[in-house]
Structure 1
Amino acid sequence: MSFMQQKIFRIVLTLLLAFWVGFAGFCQSAVALTGEQKLVSEVWRIVNHAYLDETFNHQNWAGVRQNVLQKPISDQQAAYTAIQNMLKSLDDPFTRFLDPEQYRSLQVNTSGELTGVGLQIALNSETGKLEVIAPIAGSPAEKAGIQPRDRIIQIEGTSTEKLTLDEAAAKMRGSAGTIVTLSIERDGEKEPRQVQLTRDRIELNPVIAELRPSSQGKSVGYLRLTQFNANAPMELARAITSLEKKGADAYILDLRNNPGGLLQAGIEIARLWLDSGTIVYTVNRQGIEGSFEALGSSLTNDPLVILVNQGTASASEILAGALQDNARAQLVGEKTFGKGLIQSLFELSDGSGLAVTIAKYETPNHHDINKLGIKPDQEIPSQQLTRDQVATEADSQYKAALDLLGKNKIVVGSA
């Protein structure tokens, strides 16, 4: 072998050895990942692929993963804490980790009933405070007078400042008959109020329907939709069909204090009222728009007024925005809550779960809902009402809706 051949051989051998050492180190590193570290990496990958904000709150997302995995993660609870800290850096209260029990509990929200105080809550992204979206109709929270935008500052004497959304919800859940005390802060009141609630079983019957006479001689179908669960489209379709047979000339759809629920339920309900037109656009981090359209299957073209307030959120806003922008209905009440983000739920390998903000909603006229809400056509401020006064002569928003229907100022049919 010549001198030149020997030199080339030594260079190639050195490169091969360097490659092998590097590859072996890589394999050893991959094998060395513990189950807890793999769970952290699993969460990181999902967020990296799906999260709406491609800047990840203006931070090096790969660096976040590296920093987390450099620290010891001794057990499952330590992994959960590491994941929560990693997600906290996104500053998005809707992107959150759910331990196995919390993940199972979340499924209850789209079934038939639950046990607790009946509050839909959110973390205000600007103030960081735990805020009421709306109380569930007929729940202990509603009966106690808790209102949208109330802030829960303590649960059983524990400050909510450092609680996640799911930790706060877990503290309020419990067996029927047990008591929980909340400290509530409200605009216009100097001191927090203490509210004692007795937990109860809450049936999530999403639709209330009645045929009512109006002073103008019309028969008005009053529909109150309390939640967008899996049963809501079918129940509302039955209610509209029944009211049509009874001779309804016009409708009032009450979405006040409806915190939303399933996106698909909102879309299907919009299709009950629309023959044509776009219902909602979705925009992901690439700016790609998806859309959902009406299918030409509306159940009625009778005039429609929708009642909204600050507790009208999420899927409720999609429905209200779709019918307003398509000139199918006029909105009466207050500006809506302003939750226009889409979360997708992922089941993780150990039975826990991850909710990730993957996109945002826009109305058919491309109005961004998130943090802005939807402005009604006729603004009427909310008033303090008892449960029995809702949708009666004592209810100024309801009366305004009746007046609109009576004056024939509602556009009939879709745009």
Structure 2
Amino acid sequence: MAKGGLVLGTTAALAAAVAVVGFQLANPSIAAFRDSPKEIVDEAWQLINREYVDGSFNKVDWRQVRRQYVENRDYSSKAEAYRSVREMLKLLDDPYTRFMDPEQFKSMQIDTSGELTGVGIQLGMDDATKQLTVVAPIEDSPASRAGVLTKDIITSIADKSTDGMDINQAVALIRGPAGTKVKLGIKRGDRQFDVELERAKIEIHPVKAELRDTNIGKVGYISLRQFNANAASDMRKAIQDHVNKGAVGFVLDLRSNPGGLLYSSAEIARMWLDNATIVSTIDRKGESERLTANRQSLTNKPLVVLVDGGSASASEILSGALQDNKRAVIVGTKTFGKGLVQSVHSLSDGSGMAVTIAKYYTPVGRDINHMGIVPDQVVELTKDDLERLNKNRDLVGTVSDPQFAKAIDILSGELKKVSSR
């Protein structure tokens, strides 16, 4: 992973059974303080003081926080220090800025390798209700096979109520050795039920690509599940393969894609765009960085992008860039609405922190935080649709999938426009 990698996505900020991150090494000069729990608290305070996106710290007196947690308190153990760091960060009221103990941070780094051990649930914290909510189940994972769905509320883990439980605590309870089991309490609408899941090793393949034979010809169907370190290279191979095989158009499926790495989303955008702005980021000083596409596109064939409420952050950057530049038609339902960027740092004792450092804006200047990307063509899936597609994943991305079927209709119209020119 590149030093200083930037993170986008609910997976990184709201880690669950999977996390996709970039990280950077701590300043070596800090290493001398490794045996001092108090210095861990100081490191965490300094990171927020130096990098946090909001210079007012969400109206928290950050100097007073230092006096309370660093200057006027001694620590006898790292566990004490970790509790204080989490207390400090909680004051910011930012679910995306979080602390990870060494084991959690190590797990986060392992996850970037594309394999994890768990049940395959990506969790988020609902901003309004503060409830642990499923952002997306990973395809072909224990959770997916058991029928866990996006927007399910996790009410208990191993018979422990999740009321007041943060993401880190939930992750610690859900994860465990392959072959062991964990029981989850789930609320779905008015229904409340338990699901017992057996933990397993889960390989994460970010791209699934197939050439579909349709009534308009061969259509390249590419499903991108997350923006990890392998996503761009896998995407490039898929597009080139479909172009070589005569695809007349493409459907890019970003449904339930919770995000990932900033550079990955930018690289993938460049495969579809020529001479266009992809995204702008603005930090606490108001300094803007703009990422652009410069004549690197792999195809100019018509493109439809599928999104839903589980499409977050890096997915929203990509779909927003394609929508604003009129390169693609967006189909589905409104996206998650996360317009924040995190940088992930290792601390001197092997623990880590994700810190919100910037906001991002689409090419025409839209701030999608909490607002999301609204599709050009809204197509809702019914409850029956969701359960049918979840039970038989082979139907996803076929004409039995209403959102994909709409995409084919749109591609048909786009091809007719091209042929009439």
TM-score w.r.t. the length of structure 2 is 0.86
Letter in 1 for 2:86: Q
Matched with 1:17 is none
Q: Is the 8 A contact 1:341 1:361 kept in 2?
A: yes
What's the secondary structure of 2:266's corresponding residue?
Answer: helix
What's the secondary structure of 1:337's corresponding residue?
Answer: coil
* Cα distance, 1:103 vs structure 2: 0.7
1:299-346 CA-partner distances (Å, limit 9, x unpaired)? 000000001111111111111111111110010000011122111011
Q: Is the 8 A contact 1:303 1:411 kept in 2?
A: no
Gaps of 5+ in 2: 1-32
Work out whether 1:332 is the aligned partner of 2:331.
yes
What pairs with 1:204-215 in structure 2 (closer than 5 Å)? Answer: 204-215=204-215
Flag the 1:182–1:411 CA change in 2: closer, same or farther, 3 A.
farther
* Cα distance, 1:124 vs structure 2: 2.2
What pairs with 1:46-85 in structure 2 (closer than 5 Å)? Answer: 46-69=47-70, 70-85=72-87
1:332-372 CA-partner distances (Å, limit 9, x unpaired)? 00001112211101111111111101111111111112111
1:156-212 CA-partner distances (Å, limit 9, x unpaired)? 1112233221221121112222111111122xx324221111112111111111111
2:138 is aligned, of 120, 133, 136, to 136
What's the secondary structure of 2:360's corresponding residue?
Answer: strand
1:45-81 CA-partner distances (Å, limit 9, x unpaired)? 1101101122212121110111123234221111111
Work out whether 1:39 is the aligned partner of 2:43.
no
What's the secondary structure of 2:176's corresponding residue?
Answer: coil
What pairs with 1:378-393 in structure 2 (closer than 5 Å)? Answer: 378-382=377-381, 383-384=385-386, 385=389, 386=391, 387-393=393-399
Q: Is the 8 A contact 1:340 1:369 kept in 2?
A: yes
TM-score w.r.t. the length of structure 1 is 0.88
Matched with 2:285 is 286
Letter in 2 for 1:397: Q
Q: Is the 8 A contact 2:255 2:306 kept in 1?
A: yes
Flag the 1:411–1:266 CA change in 2: closer, same or farther, 3 A.
farther
1:400 is aligned, of 388, 400, 406, to 406
What pairs with 1:115-194 in structure 2 (closer than 5 Å)? Answer: 115-186=117-188, 189-194=189-194
Q: Is the 8 A contact 1:279 1:363 kept in 2?
A: yes
Work out the percentage of aligned pairs sharing the same amino acid. Answer: 50
Residues of 2 paired with 1:390 and 1:88: CA distance? 39
Matched with 1:375 is 374
* Cα distance, 1:224 vs structure 2: 0.8
What's the secondary structure of 1:273's corresponding residue?
Answer: coil
Flag the 1:411–1:139 CA change in 2: closer, same or farther, 3 A.
farther
Letter in 2 for 1:166: N
Flag the 1:191–1:221 CA change in 2: closer, same or farther, 3 A.
closer
Q: Is the 8 A contact 2:38 2:74 kept in 1?
A: no
Matched with 2:9 is none
What pairs with 1:188-267 in structure 2 (closer than 5 Å)? Answer: 189-216=189-216, 218-267=217-266
Larger Rg: 1
Q: Is the 8 A contact 1:98 1:354 kept in 2?
A: yes
Letter in 2 for 1:265: S
Residues of 2 paired with 1:376 and 1:410: CA distance? 22
Matched with 1:5 is none
Gaps of 5+ in 1: 1-31
Letter in 1 for 2:56: T
Letter in 2 for 1:408: E
Count residues with an aligned counterpart. Answer: 378
* Cα distance, 1:239 vs structure 2: 0.9
* Cα distance, 1:101 vs structure 2: 0.7
Flag the 1:411–1:61 CA change in 2: closer, same or farther, 3 A.
farther
* Cα distance, 1:142 vs structure 2: 1.6
Matched with 1:26 is none
Residues of 2 paired with 1:111 and 1:360: CA distance? 27
